[in-house]
Amino acid sequence: MKTEQFRQIKELLIRVEKSSPFYQEKFKGIQAADIKSPEDFTKLPFTTKADLRDAYPLGLMAVEESRIVRIHSSSGTTGQPVIIPYTKEDVQDWAKLFARCYQMAGITNRDRVQITPGYGLWTAGIGFQAGCELLGAMAVPMGPGNTEKQLKMMVDMQTTVLASTASYALLLAEQVMERGLQDKIALKRGIIGSERWGDKMRERISQALGIELFDIYGLTEIYGPGISIDCHCHNGLHYWDDYVYFEIVDPHTGNPIPEGEYGELVITTLRKQGAPLIRFRTHDISRFIPGTCLCGSPFPRHSRIIGRTDDMIKVKGVNMFPAYIDTLLHEIPGVSSEYTIVLDHEHGVDRFLLRFEVENGYNCEEVADAVGREFKAKIGIKIVTQAEPLGTLPRVEGKSKRVVDYRTR
C-alpha cells in the first residue's frame, strides 16, 4: 500500500465513523484511530453484497441527502437489489475515471462512440456516455438491442468506437459480415465490458470488424464500469489506484495471497462520498500483474477477470473456472468461440455435456473427439461432447450464460 493510499484510507475511516450509519454499525467497537498501519487495515471486516442488500434502500448513504444527486442499482439476481447513492463529486469523479479509460485506449475528441450498453438504473450506458462527453468525443447513445438500427447508425454516423458487451459485439460482428458491411463501417476500436470472454471470441470480433479491442472493468457498487481498462500492450488492465485500493484475497479464508496468484478481488473506494465502501468483496477472480507495463503508464495492473468465486464449477470433485475451459477450447483447431456447458446427474454421477460450434471446413466428429481427449488429458475428467455447425447455438444481447447446472434441483 502506498503512503498516500494509507493517508486516504485513514481519512475515509474517520469520515465513515462520523457520518455513515452503515459503517458505524459494521465497525462497532473499532475506532478509526485504532487503524495505525496498512496491516491493521487488513484486519477490518469485509463488506459483502449481502450487507449492501440489507441496507436497502438508502442505508449506505454517508452524506446529507441534499448532497445526493443520483442513484444506481445493481442487477441483483436474487432478492433485494442494491442501491448506491452518488453525490455530484462522485458522478464527476466517475466521468473522470471513464475519460481516462478512453484515453488509455487511444480514443480522442475526434472519435464517435456508439454506446450499446443499457441506460437506466444500472451503471453501464450512462458511464460510457459521461466519460465520452468529458473527453469531448461524440456520443451516439443507442442503448442495447435493435440490431438493424445499430448497423444503420454504425454506417451512417461512421462511428469509430463500439462500446458493448462481448456477446453483443459478436452478434454485431456476425451481422456486419453477413451483410457485407465491412467496407462501409469506420470502426477502429471496441471497448468491451461486463462479462468474461475468451480469446477466440476476441479474435472473431476483432477480425470481423477490423478493430482493436479493450477490456473495461468496473461494478455498480464501485462507481460502475471505468475503474480499469487494458492498454495497447494488452497485458492486463490498468486500474486507477488514486481512487480505488485493490486487494486480492483467498476466497475461502479471506487472507491475502502471494502477488501474482489468482484470488478474489476486494476493493476499497478512496474518494467516494455518497456510498464509500471498505474492503468490498467483488467475487471476481483476478490477479495482480507485477512490474511496470511497457506502455509506460504508472498505474498498476490486474489480469482480466477469469471467473466469479460463485461460478467456479465443481464436477466429479474437480474445481474449474469457465475461463480455463475457454483457454483449453481455444487451443483446439476447429473449435469456434461459442459453447455451452450443461451439468446434470445421471445415475447419481455428474454428467458434463459440452455443446460447442465447429468452424467451417472441419469435421464435427473429429473435433468432438479431440475436445474429449483434451478434457481428459488436461482436466482429468471424461465429458460428453456435442459438436454443432457454426451459428447453431443462440447468440444473446446481454451476458452469455455459459453454464447451465441442473444438479442443484
Residues that bind Zn ion (CB under 5 A): 231, 233, 293, 295, 297
Nearest distance, CB of residue 288 and Zn ion, angstroms:
14
Give the position of cell 460450434. 357
Nearest distance, CB of residue 289 and Zn ion, angstroms:
10
- Whose Cβ is closer to Zn ion: residue 218's or residue 276's? 218
Q: Choose among 183, 236, 245, 194: nearest CA to 218.
A: 194
- Whose Cβ is closer to Zn ion: residue 67's or residue 232's? 232
Q: Choose among 242, 266, 240: nearest CA to 253.
A: 266
Nearest distance, CB of residue 258 and Zn ion, angstroms:
23
Nearest distance, CB of residue 228 and Zn ion, angstroms:
11
- Whose Cβ is closer to Zn ion: residue 215's or residue 338's? 215
- Residues across the chain: 409
| Cis ω for the linkage preceding 57 (within 30 of 0) | yes
CA pair distance 281, 264, nearest whole angstrom: 7
- Whose Cβ is closer to Zn ion: residue 19's or residue 235's? 235
CA pair distance 388, 357, nearest whole angstrom: 5
Q: Is 277 exposed, middle or buried (0-12, 13-18, 19+ CB in 10 A)?
A: buried
Q: Given its phi and psi angles, is residue 223 left (phi above 0), alpha (psi -120 to 50 degrees) or beta?
A: left
- Whose Cβ is closer to Zn ion: residue 233's or residue 404's? 233
CA pair distance 331, 327, nearest whole angstrom: 7
- Whose Cβ is closer to Zn ion: residue 238's or residue 279's? 238
Give first-to-last CA distance, the chain, whole Å: 44
Nearest distance, CB of residue 284 and Zn ion, angstroms:
20
- Whose Cβ is closer to Zn ion: residue 105's or residue 367's? 105
Nearest distance, CB of residue 111 and Zn ion, angstroms:
20
Nearest distance, CB of residue 226 and Zn ion, angstroms:
16
CA pair distance 217, 228, nearest whole angstrom: 5
Angle between helices 124-135 and 88-104 (to 10 degrees): 70
